[in-house]
Structure 1
């Protein structure tokens, strides 16, 4: 019997939570599946991870799951299931935490909520790009680029987007802070793994 991949399980959980947004009371979903600085200070620590599996629009979940499936399958085969899951959850948690801190101290809106797998996926993309910098990826699903250049473009756009949000000139509801937190996790994980390997 073929082993069920962690990526498939993660996608299934995301789909389940997506469905919950349409059958559960809105207040319940807001309380338990959105992360914000205010929510964390009120003790809803679990939202650091539950929000990572939470989407309430079809376009949002479709894009995130499409990218997760593509990069996740490759990374799970390289890292092994246990390390892959550990990294994915860590990237997601740190992305949620980064969003919350950025919202409170840079954007000055501690009530700003976030949800979605984008931060964890950003960590996967950056880690993949550092491990396989010359592999071709499709920027915006269209433009072929070496993975490392594509990752730099994504990070650059998120930095620009965060600066715009801090200045109050951005109207797009994108969690740039979460993306950067996830990407930073990928960067640290790569150098930690590389250093450990060189020592051994």
Structure 2
């Protein structure tokens, strides 16, 4: 059955699984390959790509790979290898950008608040956020809520293929809006053109409200926006791709 999956989708699944197992066996990879806020001392340029292949738990990677398996093959066959890869990676980059754009907004607010307190050394927070030197130690400095929020933003990591996969889902919904998909707890299949907007609105609310439960909901939105835009651009020429 696995050999029947188109090659790009199959190889993406394989790479994700291999990286997940490698990070499980070598936990230090989690630090080097996860995505960090671009102005954090933990950020490295390659993380804008490698974070897409990292996952925080077994359920996380299982859900993402099952979703990719469900939607990816149809798009790979419709778009062709090149455009399918462009869709996947640009969606992942869009996820990284939007997630960190919101991070930038919040960090600017916290920094402005801390500047009003002359007793707070913001530079020290940045220095102590360097986990290669100090590890993760949120109690290493004066514990006001704003200082802690800033520290956690600088040490927080972004992992997972979810942004790229949301781009795949959004592209699928744009190209095949009448397709019906099954949803847990709903007894009948629902058209994907109705499901995606609800998911996106929910993700925006959870991402902005801070009730996301440690999930990068705005990354999902960023990936979906890129997937939607690319599919709209390509839709008129769908049958010319190959």
Task: Using structure 1 for the length normalisation, give the TM-score.
Answer: 0.85
| 8 Å CA contact retained: 1:34, 1:50 | yes
- Judging changes above 3 Å, is the alpha-carbon distance between structure 1 residues 3 and 62 closer, same or farther for their aligned structure 2 residues? closer
* Cα distance in 2 for residues equivalent to 1:21 and 1:3: 25
Q: After superposition, give the CA deviation of every residue in 1:5-47 in whole Å (9 maximum; x if it has no partner).
A: 10000000000001011221x333212x211214677661111
| Structure 2 unaligned spans of 5+ | 111-152
- Judging changes above 3 Å, is the alpha-carbon distance between structure 1 residues 5 and 141 closer, same or farther for their aligned structure 2 residues? farther
* Cα distance in 2 for residues equivalent to 1:20 and 1:50: 13
Question: Who is 2:209 aligned against?
Answer: 164
| 8 Å CA contact retained: 2:92, 2:223 | yes
Question: Who is 1:52 aligned against?
Answer: 52
- Judging changes above 3 Å, is the alpha-carbon distance between structure 1 residues 141 and 57 closer, same or farther for their aligned structure 2 residues? farther
SS in 2 for 1:11: helix
- Judging changes above 3 Å, is the alpha-carbon distance between structure 1 residues 19 and 127 closer, same or farther for their aligned structure 2 residues? same
Question: Who is 2:146 aligned against?
Answer: none
Question: Who is 2:24 aligned against?
Answer: 22
Question: Who is 1:65 aligned against?
Answer: 65
Output aligned runs, 1:120-199, within 5 Å. Answer: 120-140=164-184, 142=186, 144-165=189-210, 170=211, 172-194=213-235
Q: After superposition, give the CA deviation of every residue in 1:83-102 in whole Å (9 maximum; x if it has no partner).
A: 10121011112212222222
- Judging changes above 3 Å, is the alpha-carbon distance between structure 1 residues 133 and 101 closer, same or farther for their aligned structure 2 residues? same
Question: More displaced, 175-184 or 110-119?
Answer: 110-119
What's the offset of the Cα at 1:140?
4.0
Q: After superposition, give the CA deviation of every residue in 1:95-120 in whole Å (9 maximum; x if it has no partner).
A: 12222222231476344211001001
Task: Using structure 2 for the length normalisation, give the TM-score.
Answer: 0.71
Work out which structure has the larger RCO, using CA pairs closer than 8 Å and 6 or more positions apart in sequence: 2
Q: Give the superposed CA RMSD.
A: 2.4
* Cα distance in 1 for residues equivalent to 2:166 and 2:233: 18
| Structure 1 unaligned spans of 5+ | none
What's the offset of the Cα at 1:2?
7.8
SS in 1 for 2:181: strand
- Judging changes above 3 Å, is the alpha-carbon distance between structure 1 residues 43 and 63 closer, same or farther for their aligned structure 2 residues? closer
Q: After superposition, give the CA deviation of every residue in 1:108-156 in whole Å (9 maximum; x if it has no partner).
A: 6344211001001101111110111110012348552101111111101
